[in-house]
Amino acid sequence: MTISEVSKKYNLTADTIRYYEKEGIIPRVQRTKNGIRDFDENTCSWIEFIKCMRNAGLEIEILKQYVTLFKQGIRTIKERKMLLEEQRNKLLEKQKNINATLDRLNQKIKWYEDMEKGKKDFMENP
């Protein structure tokens, strides 16, 4: 696949994909005899994984750590698992905060709906 095909498939810019390659968080992409990047299934799997992790908020530095450990082979499974568990715990905390914020927003929206229906006197709070 060309970089434009990969870009469309994963909804990433070509610049982002090049950056991931430059930073070493996806494998070096093979090139055709004309020098055009030729993405294989393995590289696409890495792009999909990195995109998922970035969408979840994982930092590039964490992903670099993970890839470095991955490249060291099976002996780093425990460290990779611990790294992912730490990131999962951070995401769970973010999820908890997002849920609390959603609850507050829903309460506020309900308050405004009740105001619109004349069910509440106007005495606004933040």
pLDDT in tens, 67-117: 999 999 999 999 999 999 999 999 999 999 999 999 999 999 998 888 888
Whole-prediction pTM: 0.79
pLDDT at residue 117, as a whole number:
85
Sign of the four-CA dihedral 52, 55, 56, 58:
positive
What's the rounded mean pLDDT across residues 42-49? 96
Assess whether pLDDT exceeds 80 at residue 8: yes
Q: How far apart are CA 91 and CA 29, in angstroms?
A: 31
